[in-house]
Amino acid sequence: MILVRDVFQIDPEQMKTAKSEMKEHREIAKRLGYQIGRVLTDLTGEYYTLVLESEYKNLAEYEGALKKIFADAGWQKSYAKFRKMIRGGRREMYTVVD
């Protein structure tokens, strides 16, 4: 099992909108097999951080889910709106031990 965290630094003036847009984005992703389990925001650390967590059986399953969402017009439209709010970010991937 792997855990994927997409960590975004959101424009401070856009954080409320980003959280709202994430609901639509999450539904589209879920329909396509990209399972966003949790959406998190910062409590400490860098301000205006938005984190999407998802779990997959292995890297092949994750890569398949990415390929599917990247090809979907609805996801592309949703991500284009979300992308305008992002100042930076990174992806973290972990092997789930327990």
Mean pLDDT for 57-64 is 94
Query: Which pLDDT does position 28 carry in this prediction?
Result: 86
pLDDT at 85: 95
DSSP 8-state assignment for residue 71 = T
Question: What is the structure's pLDDT at 62?
Answer: 92
Mean pLDDT of 3-7: 96
pLDDT at 67: 92
* Full set of structural domains in the chain with CATH: 2-93 (3.30.70.100)
- Is pTM beyond 0.85? Reply is yes
Over pLDDT 70: what percentage of the chain? 100
What is the band of 21 on the pLDDT scale with cuts at 50, 70, 90?
Answer: confident
Q: What's the rounded Cα separation, in Å, for the pair 76 and 81?
A: 9
37 has a pLDDT exceeding 90: no
Closest CA to 51 of 90, 1, 95, 98: 90
